[in-house]
Structure formats: C-alpha cells, structure tokens
Amino acid sequence: MASTSQNHQYGENVIVLPPTAQLQALLTLIRDEKTHRGDFVFYSDRIIRLLVEEGLNNLPVVPKEVRTPTGVDFNGVSFEGRICGVSIMRAGEAMEAGLRDCCRSVRIGKILIQRDEETTLPKLFYAKLPEDISDRFVLLLDPMLATGGSCLKAIEVLLEHGVKEDKILFLNLIASPLGIQAVSQRFPKMKTITAWVDAGLDEHAYITPGLGDFGDRYFL
C-alpha cells in the first residue's frame, strides 16, 4: 500500500506505489532512451504486475472457511465479486497480459478513444465490453495519464454501461499531477493506482520527464 502521506497528497482514493529501490530501478530502465524494446517490454511488465497486485489488494473480500488437507478448518477470505479488465487502446493493451497472469480466464474489454480533429476533444471510436460488465469490478488499464482526457472519456463509457463508479479501479504506470487531479476530482469514488507521479506536462501536453510514447516503445 502507498503511504498515508501520499494518499493525502492526491486524495484518499489515489494510491501511489511505495517508491522502493526496485520500483525506482525499473522505472529508470524504461525511461532510458537507450533501452531496447525487449528490455522495455520485460521491465514494463514487471511494473504492470506490481500494479495489478495492488489493484487486487484493493478489491473487497468476504469471509470464507475451507477445510485443509490436514482436516483442519481455515478461516480465510474470497473476493466479493467478479472482475474484468478494460484496456484503453492501444497502449492499455500492453497491461492485459499482466492482468491475465494474476487472474486466470479474466474477461477483458477494449475501448478506443482518439482526439476529434474538429473539436480537439476525446471521442469514442470503439467499445467492446463484457455483456455483464455492470455486475463486475472493472480494472481500467492505461499506462500513461497526461491530461486525463482519454481516461475521463473511458470512465464515462463504463458508467453508461451500468458500471458503478466505486467499482472502477484505474491502473496506471506514470501520471501527471494534472491528470491525477482531473480524474480524482471528476470521479472521487473511483480508485486510481499509479506507480509514479511525474513533475508535469510540457508545452505539447506530454508527461515530463516521462518515457516517450509507451505504445510505440512497447509494440514497435
């Protein structure tokens, strides 16, 4: 879990992973412009796994008693409801494997959002979601959170499909303070789990120091 001070800085529903030596080393590797694609994918996947694990830590559980092979009852827990993943294409698709590694046979939906050239606003181009998504907890996947426009639009799509705001967990590698504020203020009941919050945005609205175009570096 992130520290109390981190949660208070960005709001109680924003969780920043603890800045461990391992996490900082992994982020340094994927930020380096000299890192080749194979290494970028490998180390990005390790961070994604940490994010997914933290996301699962924040799902509600209910008591469950089981009998162990020694014949003794054990009072444990099980997840309260079913989950699914929804990736914001295309960069968010890089996070799907990490979710599948932790949750066998998990259902995954996809949302494609691009900027409308006339209005400059984010516009929905494609959405394919599980039919019963309104009954599930949703892990929304997108590695980069800059201005927050695409994320906000994706959340709107989920709400239109009956998903409750407090059943959405947004998993993100690197965020800008502006993006964090935009999402948490608009949807305060939704949890955001990010690995790192960068300094800000440059004149082109790119996260700085950032790591470049995540989708290009991961897939190309």
What is the pLDDT, as a whole number, of residue 121? 77
What is the pLDDT, as a whole number, of residue 105? 87
DSSP β-bridge partners for residue 145: 175
* Under 8 Å between Cβ of 19 and 26: no
Please say if the pLDDT value at position 3 is more than 60. Answer: no
What is the pLDDT, as a whole number, of residue 115? 76
Single-letter amino acid, residue 43: Y
Please say if the pLDDT value at position 4 is more than 80. Answer: no
Residue 26 is classified by DSSP as H
Residues 118-152: tens digit of each pLDDT: 766 788 999 999 999 999 999 999 999 999 999 99
Q: What stretches of the chain show up as alpha helix (H) in DSSP?
A: 4-10, 21-31, 37-57, 96-102, 149-160, 177-186, 214-219
Quickly state the pLDDT bin for 177 (edges 50, 70, 90).
very high
Pairing of strands 200-201, 207-208: antiparallel
Distance of alpha carbon 200 from alpha carbon 91, whole angstroms: 20
Which active-site residues does the annotation give?
115, 119, 213, 216
Distance of alpha carbon 64 from alpha carbon 187, whole angstroms: 32
Residues 192-206: tens digit of each pLDDT: 999 999 999 999 889
CATH code of domain 4-219? 3.40.50.2020
- Work out the mean pLDDT of the chain and round it to a whole number: 93
Distance of alpha carbon 192 from alpha carbon 197, whole angstroms: 12
